[in-house]
Amino acid sequence: MLIEGPLFVVSNRGPLSFSRAGDGSLVARRGAGGLVSSLGPLVRDTKAMWMAAAISDEDREAAEAGVVEAEGFRIRSLAVDLQAYRMFYEVVANATLWFLHHNLYELARRPRLDSRWHEAWDAYREVNRTFAKAIIEEAPEEATVLVQDYHFALVGTWLAQERPDLRAVHFTHIPFCDPNQLRVLPTTVAEELLVGMSSHQSCGFHAGRWARNFAACCKEVLGFEPATFVSPLSPDHEDIQGTADSPACSDELARLNERLGDRKLIVRVDRIELSKNLLRGFWAFDELLRTRPEWRERVVFAALVYPSREGLPEYLAYRHEVEAVARLLNERWATPSWEPVLLDASDNFPASVAALRRYDVLLVNPVRDGLNLVAKEGALLNEHDGVVVLSREAGVWEELGPASITVNPFDVSGTAAALHEALSTEAPERAAKARHARELAGRRRPHHWLNDQLKAADRPPRDG
């Protein structure tokens, strides 16, 4: 590990969240979310300070108690104005920046950048300023500061001005829009965003495409190209293998095998999220069954999904559509002995891992995705010489593309053809493809991603 000086991590969700026990005391449990589960084990025993927002009432109460020691690092929960936090998180982070960078807007109607939205942008700035102030006050001299994700695009502005000794890098876990898409934002907002990010020593992304988009936006709006680096995250192989080897997972695998018999299995594991393209995945399966009748009764499509952001009406509507289309396909194609679609929204992690061990085809077809760890997890865990059908719009395509069957995620017919090709691939080629995918997915470990950030931070500080 490259960690020499003090380390400071900043993210929206923290590694612990607090709740109230029966006796009224505060109890800490591991925070949820991909970032936390990736970063958590990496900073264990580094004595790092991890700063995150105090979200629930219990979090905020714990925040008042000050720094919490945990698993070899320290947690600093930062209390922010709750009303400001809601606008920061729901309006700007989830409903603006997420939609912008994933290209999800229906532009005839959204976004509607009215006075309420501009107030939300002010709140986003305020929350970023609150975090910047705390870092400026609390970070030791020449600390390395790892600012995580699009929630904190502006923090760098004040760090560069007030603490030029700090070595701050920013890492974005989602895609980054191109200069034409950025035109949706008001010019001053776009400038503020790009100035904030480019005030770091360097900005990191999971794929070259997002780094190039960010650099092109800076070039067009600010007139210069900032330092960027590309560093795809990898799953913790030992950790997921541990789950794969667990009795819970073996039980799930046995149940799945019993249900399947000698049928083939297409799997997807996803959050129910507009960018994940669940609907076109089902339509492609529908087209496969319609145009290739030889697959009827011979293949099951298991979608292991979990609900997300149901406070946003778009997500609730999307979930209902996903459920309706899955039901429609079963009504259309099921026979007394065969249910073609298995939609499991129970968020059962051992069952998901069992499905990844067992798949013949893994469908990863997002319309846009910063990286997509599931594709790598599948390639690492699969025990069935399964083939990955992979969207060219996922960041992970830059790594796994050569070992996958590539799809244009908008092309339902093309996706149906790719599923057919994947199901029809002969055993020796399947084995070669699976081996290749496993090799590519295993090239990097989580610590490579952390080290890339530390390396990017370890450059002469920018002029304050």
Q: Which is nearer to a copy of itself, 236 or 270 (CB)?
A: 270
Binding track over 170-189 against a copy of itself, x by CB under 8 A: --------x-xx-xxxxx--
270 CB neighbour count, 10 Å cutoff: 24
147, 194, 274, 356: which one binds a copy of itself (CB under 8 A): 274
Binding track over 25-64 against a copy of itself, x by CB under 8 A: ----------------------------------------
Under the criterion CB under 8 A, does residue 112 sit at the interface with a copy of itself? yes
- Residues numbered 395-424 forming contacts with a copy of itself, rule: CB under 8 A: 408, 410-414, 416
Q: Which is nearer to a copy of itself, 296 or 384 (CB)?
A: 296
Under the criterion CB under 8 A, does residue 214 sit at the interface with a copy of itself? no
d(CA 138, CA 51): 10
23, 24, 25, 107: which one binds a copy of itself (CB under 8 A): 107
Look up residue 132 and give its amino acid.
Answer: A
50, 73, 117, 449: which one binds a copy of itself (CB under 8 A): 117
d(CA 316, CA 308): 9
Under the criterion CB under 8 A, does residue 104 sit at the interface with a copy of itself? yes
User: Minimum Å distance from CB 277 to a copy of itself?
Assistant: 7
Binding piece for a copy of itself, criterion CB under 8 A, among 2-10, 143-151, 199-207, 273-281: 273-281
User: Minimum Å distance from CB 345 to a copy of itself?
Assistant: 18
d(CA 374, CA 364): 8
d(CA 17, CA 28): 6
23, 114, 141, 331: which one binds a copy of itself (CB under 8 A): 114
Q: Which is nearer to a copy of itself, 161 or 180 (CB)?
A: 180
Q: What angle do CA 197, 43, 34 make, to 5 degrees?
A: 65
Binding piece for a copy of itself, criterion CB under 8 A, among 78-86, 166-174, 269-277, 356-364: 269-277
Phi, psi of 105 (to 5 degrees): -65, 140
3-state secondary structure of 226: coil
Under the criterion CB under 8 A, does residue 328 sit at the interface with a copy of itself? no
Q: Is the dihedral of CA 164, 152, 127, 97 positive or negative?
A: positive
Under the criterion CB under 8 A, does residue 291 sit at the interface with a copy of itself? yes
Give the strands of the sheet with 167-172, arranged side by side: 68-70, 73-78, 49-53, 7-10, 144-148, 167-172, 202-205, 228-230
Q: Is the dihedral of CA 59, 61, 67, 68 positive or negative?
A: negative
User: Minimum Å distance from CB 215 to a copy of itself?
Assistant: 15
Under the criterion CB under 8 A, does residue 313 sit at the interface with a copy of itself? no
d(CA 449, CA 461): 21
Look up residue 240 and give its amino acid.
Answer: I
Residue 96 contacts residue 117 (beta carbons within 8 Å): yes
d(CA 321, CA 100): 22
Under the criterion CB under 8 A, does residue 320 sit at the interface with a copy of itself? no
User: Minimum Å distance from CB 6 to a copy of itself?
Assistant: 40
Strand ranges, E, within 206-350: 228-230, 264-271, 299-306, 341-344
As given in the structure block, the two tokens for residue 433 are: 């493809």
Binding piece for a copy of itself, criterion CB under 8 A, among 106-114, 134-142, 192-200, 295-303: 106-114
d(CA 156, CA 152): 8
Task: Give the residues across from 269 on adjacent strands.
Answer: 304
Site residues for a copy of itself per CB under 8 A: 103-109, 111-115, 117-118, 178, 180-181, 183-187, 274-275, 277, 279-280, 283, 287, 290-291, 318, 321, 367-368, 392-393, 408, 410-414, 416
